[in-house]
Amino acid sequence: MAISVEELRQLVEEDSAGWRKQNCVSLRDLTAAQIEMVLQVAKELKRHDLGRHPSLFWRYPRTLAMLFQKPSLRTRVSFETSMAHLQGHAVYLAPDDVGLGIREAVEDVAGTLSRWVDSIAARVYHHTTVQQLAQHATVPVINALSDLEHPVQAFADILTLQEYAPAGAPMRLAYTGDGNNVLHALLIACSRLGISLRAACPPGYEPNPAYLEDAQQYAAQTGAEILLCATPQEAVKDAHAVYTDVWTSMGQEEEKQERNRTFAPYQLNEQLMTMAAPGAFALHCMPAHRGEEITEGVMNAHKHTILEQAENRLHTQKALLMLILGL
């Protein structure tokens, strides 16, 4: 049920899910209520024209340090735009600006930034780096991507599912491709919220067993089905949405040829989409390599939901920042 701007403000201020000043390093650290709260606030922010409601702006400008070891389009622009919409300020720190862990120790960077900014969003190669930042910072740290997990992407993914999957029926998501950080976040988010997820990954490229085990434990409580399938066809059967991601992530470039051969049977193509439920839609967190993990035809046919998924990064990250930093 939609709520008024004043009710939205009250929802953020009350902080019933306990978000205030908390880190967002891993979805495994969050409760189902916290995930649901981000989604609820994001839906209302998307519905309301924020610029017309000054009561939702911050009383004083907050500052977000964006500590990036990897380049980015969606993550950088969505965080910077979120801060601008809330009348805050984002400081982008590129790899050469900091030399995180090379020119300067992670704990020193965390401690120094904590004296200047209200929060840190870190896009890093190794999950241990964002964990160290959270350990040594005295301001909240948000994982904007690590090799192990991509929690902010999962918020946008689930919001898109909720918007486009059939109402009134348990949602079913299929995933085909690499058992990577995106799949890890999806496993936790889906199982926490009662969304069934079937994944098909090539042998040797399955998700981290700890994430799969946690997801299956959560699913036992929520009634979701969490399953690793032998083939993409099995995973996709009767799914409301089919998700894929790049086969070769940043830092894996030397493996590209081998990965392309291995993952070829897991391509999201027109034939695979016909095996999903009627009206099923495709999802991709992008950047998309057309002709590799997804065909040109599927990308074009489902461009609207994929771009909506990208837009939802803005709304969910804005909600996350509001909940963590207050109003």
Statement: residue 195 has pLDDT above 90? yes
Marked catalytic residue, from 245, 259, 267, 284? 245
Report the chain's mean pLDDT, rounded to a whole number: 96
Instruction: Return the H-helix or E-strand segment holding 90.
Output: strand 89-93
Same domain, 211 and 103: no
Query: Which pLDDT belongs to residue 128?
Result: 98
The answer to whether 212 touches 184, Cβ cutoff 8 Å, is no
Marked catalytic residue, from 192, 201, 285, 315? 285
Same domain, 216 and 304: yes
Same domain, 184 and 162: yes
Question: Model confidence over 168-187: pLDDT tens digits?
Answer: 889 999 999 999 999 999 99
Question: Model confidence over 255-277: pLDDT tens digits?
Answer: 889 999 999 999 999 999 999 99
Marked catalytic residue, from 22, 132, 153, 267? 153
Beta bridge partners of 176: 200
Same domain, 75 and 22: yes
Statement: residue 192 has pLDDT above 90? yes
Active site residue 233: no
Marked catalytic residue, from 184, 302, 313, 315? 313
Query: Which pLDDT belongs to residue 49?
Result: 80
Structure tokens belonging to residue 197:
């997820």
Residue 283 CA to residue 154 CA, distance in Å, equals: 12
Same domain, 105 and 156: no
Residue 126 CA to residue 149 CA, distance in Å, equals: 10
Active site residue 245: yes
Of 124-128, 164-168, 220-224, which range is least confident?
A: 164-168
Same domain, 67 and 95: yes
Query: Which pLDDT belongs to residue 99?
Result: 87
What domain count does the chain have?
2
Query: With 0-12 CB in 10 A as exposed, 13-18 as middle and 19+ as buried, what is 187?
Result: buried
Query: Which pLDDT belongs to residue 1?
Result: 76
Q: What CATH number is attached to the domain comprising 206?
A: 3.40.50.1370
Same domain, 101 and 158: no
Residue length, the chain?
A: 327
Active site residue 229: no
Who contacts 206 (Cβ-Cβ below 8 Å, separation ≥6)? 179, 212, 228
Query: With 0-12 CB in 10 A as exposed, 13-18 as middle and 19+ as buried, what is 31?
Result: exposed
Question: Model confidence over 13-36: pLDDT tens digits?
Answer: 999 999 999 999 999 999 999 999
Same domain, 85 and 31: yes
Statement: residue 6 has pLDDT above 90? yes
Active site residue 267: no
Enclosing domain of residue 242: 151-309
Same domain, 167 and 119: no
Marked catalytic residue, from 62, 127, 150, 172? 150
| 287-308 mean pLDDT | 98
Same domain, 172 and 292: yes
Statement: residue 2 has pLDDT above 90? no
Marked catalytic residue, from 62, 74, 76, 123? 123
Question: Model confidence over 83-141: pLDDT tens digits?
Answer: 999 999 999 999 889 988 889 999 999 999 999 999 999 999 999 999 999 999 999 99
More confident residue, 34 or 1: 34
Active site residue 62: no
Same domain, 129 and 157: no
The answer to whether 228 touches 204, Cβ cutoff 8 Å, is no
Who contacts 248 (Cβ-Cβ below 8 Å, separation ≥6)? 255, 256, 259, 260
Question: Model confidence over 32-82: pLDDT tens digits?
Answer: 999 999 999 999 999 998 767 888 899 999 999 999 999 899 999 999 999
Same domain, 187 and 210: yes
Query: Which pLDDT belongs to residue 53?
Result: 84
Residue 169 DSSP class: S
Residue 4 CA to residue 50 CA, distance in Å, equals: 12
Active site residue 150: yes
Percent of the chain with pLDDT over 90: 89
